[in-house]
Amino acid sequence: MPRDHARCAGRDGGDELLSRLMTVLLLGLCACEEVLPEEFDCTADVRVSVTVQVLDSAGGDIAAEVFYDAGDVDGEQACELMDLGGYSCGYEVGGELLIRAQAEGFLQASESVFVESDACHVITESLTLELVEEEA
């Protein structure tokens, strides 16, 4: 067996590596307890980052294309149409999001919103964008 393999598989290297891994894991668990006290109970559900209503100047709903950009490598992403109207933009995406809406016959509109989070989830923000009709 080559010398490097013997050292990794033997007592010296393997036990030391295992000891270091256990130390890192224990430190991680201790850090989590400080952030999340015992009485704190996170849920497994996933929260929407931003809900968006798109309205015309008279306050009527508009069927639009709505996008969000979190400024990361994923770039601009499409928001989803919700069952009860409006759009959901991002799931558990925190920080600053640029929301943009466009519809045929209207000028596009955009607005930035900052999505905060607690120890478990984002805190959903609500946004209304008004689209102005294009001049003929």
Q: What is the CATH number of the domain that holds 125?
A: 2.60.40.1120
Lowest mean pLDDT among 14-28, 31-45, 60-74: 14-28
Report the alpha-carbon distance of residue 88 to residue 53 in Å, rounded: 9
In this structure, the answer to whether residues 29 and 56 fall within a common structural domain is no
pTM of the model: 0.69
Which residues, at least 6 apart from 86, have a Cβ–Cβ distance to it below 8 Å? 51, 52, 53, 54
Number of domains present in the structure of the chain: 2
Parent domain of 12: 3-35
Question: What percentage of the chain reaches a pLDDT higher than 90?
Answer: 62
Instruction: Kindly state whether residue 106 falls inside one of the protein's structural domains.
Output: yes
Instruction: Kindly state whether residue 68 falls inside one of the protein's structural domains.
Output: yes
Q: Report pLDDT for 38.
A: 56
Please provide the distance, in angstroms rounded to a whole number, between the alpha carbons at the two ends of the chain: 82
In this structure, the answer to whether residues 98 and 120 fall within a common structural domain is yes
In this structure, the answer to whether residues 58 and 28 fall within a common structural domain is no
User: How many other C-beta atoms can be found within 10 angstroms of the C-beta atom of residue 58?
Assistant: 7
Q: Report pLDDT for 136.
A: 76
